[in-house]
Amino acid sequence: MRNGHEEQDRFLRSLRLRRAAAFRKEIVPYFRYVAQSGFGLLASAAAFTAVIWYFNLLKDVPHNWPADIAGIVFLSVAAVYAPLRTFFQPADPVYLLPLENRLLHAYVGPALSRSIRNAVFRTLAAFAIFAPVYMRAPVTENAARTHPILLLALLFAVLGAFNAYSGWRERRPAAGIWRLSLKAMRWVLTFVIAAALLLKPLTLAVPFMLLCMAFLWFMWRMPRQHYLPWEIFIHGEQAARRRWMSFLSWFVDVPAQTAKPARRRWLAWLGDIAPWKQSRAWHFLYAKTFIRSETLGAFGRWIIVIAFVMIVAHTELSNLIVYAVGFAVAALQLSELRRVRFVETAETLPIPPAGRYAAAAYVARAAGITAAVLLWLTAVLTLREFQPELWLPALAAGLLWCGWIMPRRIAKHSDDEDE
């Protein structure tokens, strides 16, 4: 019996490794197109600029720079991220169900261990970046004197590992409201624990951290749970694949992935603005599709992240660079609209096909201009002094890229692409 279990474990471990290798083999070849597009150069320039800004900040941390808030957010985000890649496929609940008892040990277990290791290294890397600022910033230097850095790094590593394990436990409840509640509690408590570790005496912060972890452990045991949440893992893998393919599709044509629509009732009314005319039918379809698609979710999250970075940095050079990167990548995300594929019955509708890509460009233009203006206002309002010779050309560049260049590329039509 023991030999049989060992053979099953070897099969399951090799199955997960083969699937992970197959996924990497599928997406890695596309990255040469990403590099050829200039995105790699843009990312390198942004990273180089960030490094320069970081070392300049270390030389002279402004007296009113919110190092406490920046550290709490930076370290909490690094710790709270809890992915768990299992590479499960839709047919697995049928074919692997007889091995369910061994799957936790031989298949999910190694994936969870990898997730915990990655969380520890990611949180330690984030702490290594923030620690010099923590010790130099006037806002936090008094707290840093009473906090041994190595001990603090160890505590944040424990926090990251706990979040990775929590990500597994919060996937198991049968009820969706419990999964959402456990995730929300974990996020809130992680931010509170990070604040306590950075700003409060460790004699109080450590017991508080242990108390929060014990509370979450107690909450995990309350709802009814699946032994192995097949559907959650399968949907998570499908979402991860869609995100990767969506990113790669900015630069090269990739196999289409079935997207899960979102309701977003609070935004659905925007699609109804289009006039009820046959000539505007494509505008209506593209607007509704964009509002309910994952493209809007990724687009909105990117805008929020860029706005937050500018609010935290609030310096002339950094805001200008971040603004340029922000509107450039946002417009690239909107190019996904050109790859929208409607159901086959849409071909039977009495809609002139000639205006299809022009409608996609119209929706992309409206979203892109809105993003460019909002980011520009965020950048300008966080500065102490407005310099029109810098920011008016920056706004013009954003409007040109988001309102003319990218929409023109989307509207450009060729027979080969229709085929």
| DSSP per residue, 170-194 | TT-BSSHHHHHHHHHHHHHHHHHHH
Over residues 297-309, mean pLDDT: 82
Q: Which of 21-30, 334-343, 377-386 has the lowest mean pLDDT?
A: 334-343
The secondary structure of residue 260, as a DSSP letter, is P
Query: What pLDDT is recorded for position 6?
Result: 82
What DSSP character marks residue 251? T
Task: Decide: residue 136, CB within 10 A, 0-12 exposed, 13-18 middle, 19+ buried.
Answer: middle
Q: What is the DSSP letter of 258?
A: P
On whether the CB atoms of residues 401 and 328 are closer than 8 A, the answer is yes
Nearest residue to 315 via CA among 258, 387, 249, 364: 387
Confidence of residue 252 (pLDDT cuts 50, 70, 90): low
Q: Give the integer Cα–Cα distance in Å for 3 and 15.
A: 18
- pLDDT digits 0-9 by tens, 53-86: 888 888 888 888 888 888 999 999 999 998 898 9
Give 225's strand partners: 173
Beta-carbon count within 10 A of 157 CB: 18
**Is the pLDDT confidence value at 262 over 50?**
yes
- The residue with greater pLDDT, 272 or 62, is 62
Lowest mean pLDDT among 85-89, 307-311, 360-364, 390-394: 307-311
Q: Is the pLDDT of residue 151 over 50?
A: yes
User: Worst-scoring range by mean pLDDT, 162-166, 249-253, 301-305, 399-403?
Assistant: 249-253
Average pLDDT over residues 320-327: 86
Lowest mean pLDDT among 116-125, 277-286, 314-323, 331-340: 277-286
CA angle (187 as vertex; 297, 223 as ends), nearest 5:
100
Confidence of residue 418 (pLDDT cuts 50, 70, 90): very low
Let me know how many helices (H) and strands (E) the chain has, helices first.
20, 0
Q: Which sign does the torsion angle of CA 62, 63, 68, 73 carry? A: negative
pLDDT score of 247 more than 80: no
Q: What is the band of 356 on the pLDDT scale with cuts at 50, 70, 90? A: confident
Lowest mean pLDDT among 52-56, 150-154, 355-359: 355-359
Compute the distance between CA of residue 230 and CA of residue 240 in angstroms, rounded to an integer.
Answer: 15
Q: Is the torsion defined by CA of 170, 171, 172, 173 positive or negative? A: positive
**Does the pLDDT of residue 250 top 70, yes or no?**
no
Least confident of 137-146, 179-188, 254-263: 254-263
Main-chain dihedrals φ then ψ at residue 173, nearest 5 degrees:
-60, 145
- For residues 410 and 359, give the distance between their C-alpha atoms in angstroms, rounded to a whole number: 9
Q: How confident is the model at residue 261 (pLDDT cuts 50, 70, 90)?
A: low
Q: Closest Cα partner for 310 from 324, 331, 329, 328? A: 324
Which stretch of 90-94, 371-375, 381-385 has the lowest confidence by average pLDDT?
A: 381-385
* CB contact set of 141 (below 8 Å; sequence gap of 6+): 135
Q: What is the pLDDT of residue 3?
A: 64
Q: What are the b/e assignments for 276-298, b being 16+ CB within 10 Å?
A: eeeebbbbbbbbbbbbbbbbbeb
More confident residue, 315 or 259: 315
96: helix, coil or strand? coil
Most confident listed range (183-187, 281-285, 385-389): 183-187
Cα separations (Å) of 133 from 67, 144, 157, 289? 7, 10, 19, 44
User: Which stretch of 78-87, 127-136, 167-176, 264-273 has the lowest confidence by average pLDDT?
Assistant: 264-273
What are the structure tokens assigned to 226, written together? Answer: 């699946």
Alpha-carbon distance 17 to 155, whole Å? 31
The pLDDT of residue 256 is above 60: no
Quote the CA–CA distance of 157 and 122 in Å, as a whole number: 9
Which among 248, 242, 233 is positioned nearest to 85, based on CA atoms?
A: 233
Give the pLDDT band of residue 344 (cuts 50, 70, 90): low
**Contact by Cβ (8 Å): 319, 392:** no
Q: Using 50, 70 and 90 to split pLDDT, how confident is the model at 416?
A: very low
Which residues on neighbouring strands pair with residue 173, listed in sequence order? 225
Q: What's the whole-number average pLDDT of the chain?
A: 84
Give the start-end residues of each E strand in 229-287. Answer: none
Q: Give the separation between CA 367 and CA 159, rounded to whole angstroms.
A: 38
Residue 343 pLDDT more than 60? no
- Which residue from 266, 265, 285, 276 is spatially nearest to 363, judged by alpha carbons? 285
Q: Which of 260, 273, 250 has the alpha carbon at shortest distance from 362?
A: 273
Task: Judge whether residue 131 has pLDDT over 80.
Answer: yes
238-247, 250-259, 319-328, 393-402: range with lowest mean pLDDT: 250-259
